[in-house]
Amino acid sequence: SETLEEFQAAFPQLLDLIFEHESDARTSQACSCGSGANRTTRCYDCFCYEPSCFFIRHDIAALRDEIAAVNLGHYGLPCPSKYATNLKFTVIDVNGIHQTRIRFCSCEGFPDRSQQLMKARLFPATMSQPTTAFTFQVLKQFHLLHLEGKLSAYDFIGALRRLSDNAFPQRTAPGWERTPPQLRHLIQIQYTADGNHHSNKYAKNTDPDDISLYDGKAYYPRDAEYREYIKNLPKGAPEAAPCDHLNVHTKQNRKKFKNMELTGIVNIQCGHIFIKSTVDLQLGEKHGNVDYALDHAILNTKPQPVSELYLAFVRVCDHIFSYDNSCSLCVNALKRFIENFPDEAELVEKFRWLIPLLHVQNHKDNCTYLYSSAYVRGAGHFHGETAEMPWVELNQLAPQTRQMNNGH
């Protein structure tokens, strides 16, 4: 606990040091090679490597210059043949998937492309005219991870893809805030919510001073504030539901949660399956749990101080919220937000509520007409079930988190 406390105090400094590696102040300065060119590149895999105007073998990152390429067949030197050209090539290495250029040898009697790649420790994806290759290092890494951790090729490539580009740029079209009402489905913001009772935790004797590295970070709210909020929720019977199919307040079997401190979690996600917030459940999915998760999801994307751009986002965008119990949740949602989260009440007032297409089939007929995307104007083909998709991955963590202490 004391060791983690030291790390917690140093987090801002550590983050600054990590971000320093995202750029180098010496780029665009004169290169030390004496050619008069400017430094353009720094290798991520080398320690204390000076930015340079040229590329060497271990740097297979994107080569934007038509002249620059990885040369094969002449020990790193360009092929002198007039027929040699730089070809666009995809190379998969331990640090990601890279678009680069390769200059194959075109001299008389030269080996074919596959042989040249193999001599350069690059395994071709196809034997005939390959345009993709894997480094020997990445193949060895996958081999060991597969043997030791049973990691599938699908998951391994997924990790490499995220190493290559795990984010997307903000590309807001100019004038979006003037979108007319009949076209606002084009700038629609989609929220989905769902609870999961596999991700639970036993009540355990734990260190009262245990420090969590995740408390209040990313999609997790501050635990002390959340517990205080839950403690102050009104006690007694849950709100009456207009539909009796999914009464998640009362249908959970209390016996299966014996000796459990936390009985599950609720996730709020966007329509692209990015998790925006996660909160713990104490027994069943109460409206208060979902409200807090939604509030935290909104706060995660709300700038401080509030900007004119955000106010336009609230005012202009079409906001849709999909949840398997929306028919009950939406009845007094605005009233609860005015009481508990007044700063977000204006946004929640603009919500249009959906029930996911698969779930709505087992609701009352009236729920279908009111909350199915097939009947909600502008909802298009949005099925609203995206909150279900991460559970196949997160449920694999449940046997571990079930036995962890509060700090983890």
Rounded Cα distance, 260 and 251, in Å? 17
Domain that holds residue 332: 186-234+242-401
The answer to whether residues 215 and 126 belong to one domain is no
The predicted structure's pLDDT at residue 62: 42
Q: Is residue 19 situated within a structural domain?
A: no
The answer to whether residues 137 and 52 belong to one domain is yes
The answer to whether residues 254 and 363 belong to one domain is yes
The answer to whether residues 248 and 390 belong to one domain is yes
Beta-carbon contacts of 184 under 8 Å, excluding residues fewer than 6 positions away, are: 316, 317, 318, 378
**Do residues 273 and 390 lie in contact, with contact meaning Cβ atoms separated by under 8 Å?**
yes
More confident residue, 384 or 30: 384
| Residue-wise pLDDT tens digits, 334-346 | 999 999 999 999 9
The answer to whether residues 207 and 312 belong to one domain is yes
The predicted structure's pLDDT at residue 73: 81
Instruction: With a cut of 60, say whether residue 207 has pLDDT above it.
Output: yes
CA distances from 341 to 161, 180, 292, 332 (A): 38, 29, 9, 13
Q: Is residue 322 situated within a structural domain?
A: yes
Q: Mean pLDDT across the stretch 127-151? A: 91
Q: Is residue 222 situated within a structural domain?
A: yes
The predicted structure's pLDDT at residue 49: 47
Instruction: With a cut of 90, say whether residue 192 has pLDDT above it.
Output: yes
Annotate the chain with three-state secondary structure. CHHHHHHHHHHHHHHHHHHHCCCCCCCCCECCCCCCCECCECCCCCCCCCCECCCCCCCCCCCCCCCCCEECCCCCCCCCCCCCCEEEEEEEECCEEEEEEEECCCCCCCCCHHHHHHHCCEEECCCCCCCEEEEHHHHHHHHHHHHHHCCCHHHHHHHHHHHHCCCCCCCCCCCHHHCCHHHHHHHCEEEEEEEECCCCEECCCCCCCCCCCCCCCCCCCCHHHHHHHHHCCCCCCCCCCCCCCCCCCCCCCHHHHCCEEECEEEEEEECCCCEEEEEEECCCCCHHHHHHHHHHHHHHCCCCCCCHHHHHHHHHCCEEEEECCHHHHCCCHHHHHHHHCHHHHHHHHCEEEECCHHHHCCCCHHHHHHHCCCCCCCCCCCCCCHHHCCHHHHCCCHHHHCCCCCCC
**Do residues 264 and 281 lie in contact, with contact meaning Cβ atoms separated by under 8 Å?**
yes
The predicted structure's pLDDT at residue 320: 93
Q: Is residue 4 situated within a structural domain?
A: no
More confident residue, 394 or 407: 394
Q: Mean pLDDT across the stretch 137-160? A: 93
Could you say which of 131, 164, 197 is where a domain stops? 164
Report the predicted TM-score, pTM, of the whole model to 2 decimal places: 0.65
In whole numbers, what is the pLDDT of the chain averaged over residues? 81
Q: Mean pLDDT across the stretch 139-145? A: 94
The answer to whether residues 320 and 284 belong to one domain is yes
Confidence of residue 57 (pLDDT cuts 50, 70, 90): very low
Rounded Cα distance, 89 and 101, in Å? 5
**Do residues 54 and 67 lie in contact, with contact meaning Cβ atoms separated by under 8 Å?**
no
More confident residue, 256 or 29: 29
The predicted structure's pLDDT at residue 239: 62
Q: Is residue 96 situated within a structural domain?
A: yes
Q: Which of 177, 187, 175 is nearest to 315 (CA)?
A: 177
Q: Is residue 5 situated within a structural domain?
A: no
More confident residue, 291 or 42: 291
Could you say which of 132, 164, 196 is where a domain stops? 164
Q: Which two structure tokens, joined as six digits, stand for 367?
A: 């729920």
Q: Which of 155-164, 165-174, 232-241, 351-360 is predicted least confidently?
A: 165-174
Domain count, the chain: 2
More confident residue, 309 or 249: 309
Q: Which two structure tokens, joined as six digits, stand for 256?
A: 């299966």
Q: Mean pLDDT across the stretch 363-380? A: 88
The answer to whether residues 137 and 228 belong to one domain is no
The answer to whether residues 199 and 86 belong to one domain is no
234-238: list long-range contacts, CB under 8 Å, 24+ apart: 238/286, 238/287
CA distances from 168 to 38, 164, 172, 297, 401 (A): 28, 11, 12, 19, 30
More confident residue, 314 or 267: 267
The predicted structure's pLDDT at residue 55: 44
The answer to whether residues 47 and 123 belong to one domain is yes
Confidence of residue 58 (pLDDT cuts 50, 70, 90): very low
The answer to whether residues 194 and 110 belong to one domain is no
The answer to whether residues 157 and 205 belong to one domain is no
Q: Mean pLDDT across the stretch 383-391? A: 89
**Do residues 379 and 319 lie in contact, with contact meaning Cβ atoms separated by under 8 Å?**
no
Instruction: With a cut of 60, say whether residue 392 has pLDDT above it.
Output: yes
The answer to whether residues 277 and 317 belong to one domain is yes
The predicted structure's pLDDT at residue 51: 54
Cα angle at 42 between 37 and 48, to 5 degrees? 115
Q: Is residue 25 situated within a structural domain?
A: no
Q: Is residue 10 situated within a structural domain?
A: no
The predicted structure's pLDDT at residue 47: 44
Query: In terms of residues, how long is the chain?
Result: 408
The predicted structure's pLDDT at residue 59: 44
Cα angle at 344 between 343 and 345, to 5 degrees? 95
Q: Which two structure tokens, joined as six digits, stand for 153?
A: 């090729």
| Residue-wise pLDDT tens digits, 3-55 | 677 667 777 877 777 777 677 777 777 777 677 777 777 666 554 445 555 44
| Residue-wise pLDDT tens digits, 170-186 | 556 778 888 888 888 88
Rounded Cα distance, 307 and 295, in Å? 18
